Amino acid sequence: MNKKDVHQRFLEKLSAELESLTIAVKNSIAMATDEAHRAESKYDTFSLETSYLARGQAQRVTELRFALDRLNALSVKDLTRESAIQHGSLVRLESGTGKARTLYFCPGGGGEQVDVDGEEVYIVTFASPLGKAVLGKRLGATVEIKIGHDLQMFRIVDVA
């Protein structure tokens, strides 16, 4: 898996989502303010509900812009397997049960996911519990994080 491809996939996904959502926000605002949708009684809440929808969509647009700005500012440099985990690291973790997951560390866009070569890759920020635990670690290190009431262990099996 190529880190530049992963980075580009995230840029494409977030850009497409931003474009689509920006159109949806404009449509929601238009519906909320359209005279045809004005409340006819105190029980007619269509316009109010549409304005809430527009507000939520606008917040998501702000989050997407933030994530895209951070992704665009991130230099995609090649790291060695001995490099400490930092922004721009593509990391493969293996759980105690042997389940592996691939993570891309970025200052924005936490939780976003893309499929690359049939494998799911997730953005993780260093503000997250997992990000905090992995920051600065190196290949072969084991990290523990508390998820709910459970303590889970992960081993770093690849860094790029």
Q: What is the pLDDT of residue 13?
A: 96
* pLDDT score of 39 more than 80: no
Examine the domain organization and report whether 155 and 118 are in the same domain.
yes
The Cα 53–Cα 72 span in angstroms is 28
Q: Give the model's confidence band at 9: pLDDT under 50 very low, under 70 low, under 90 confident, else very high.
A: very high
Higher pLDDT, 51 or 36: 51
Cβ atoms within 10 Å of 57's Cβ, excluding its own: 19
Q: What is the pLDDT of residue 78?
A: 84
Of 134, 139, 140, the residue nearest 160 (C-alpha):
139
Determine, yes or no, domain membership for 39. Answer: yes
The Cα 101–Cα 16 span in angstroms is 25
DSSP string, 86-149: -TT-EEEEEETTS-EEEEEE-SS-TT-EEEETTEEEEEE-TTSHHHHHHTT--TT-EEEEEETT
Q: What is the pLDDT of residue 80?
A: 86
Dihedral (CA of 95, 101, 104, 106) sign: negative
Examine the domain organization and report whether 66 and 101 are in the same domain.
no
Determine, yes or no, domain membership for 9. Answer: yes
Q: What is the pLDDT of residue 44?
A: 74
Examine the domain organization and report whether 97 and 53 are in the same domain.
no
- Provide the CATH number for the domain around residue 155: 3.10.50.30
Q: What is the pLDDT of residue 50?
A: 84
Examine the domain organization and report whether 113 and 153 are in the same domain.
yes
Domains in the chain, number = 2
Examine the domain organization and report whether 59 and 9 are in the same domain.
yes
How large is the greatest C-alpha to C-alpha distance in the chain, in angstroms? 67
> Which range marks the domain in which residue 60 is found?
3-73
Examine the domain organization and report whether 104 and 49 are in the same domain.
no
The mean predicted confidence, pLDDT, of the chain is 91
Determine, yes or no, domain membership for 132. Answer: yes
Which of 24, 48, 73 lies at the terminal end of a domain, its last residue? 73
Higher pLDDT, 82 or 116: 116
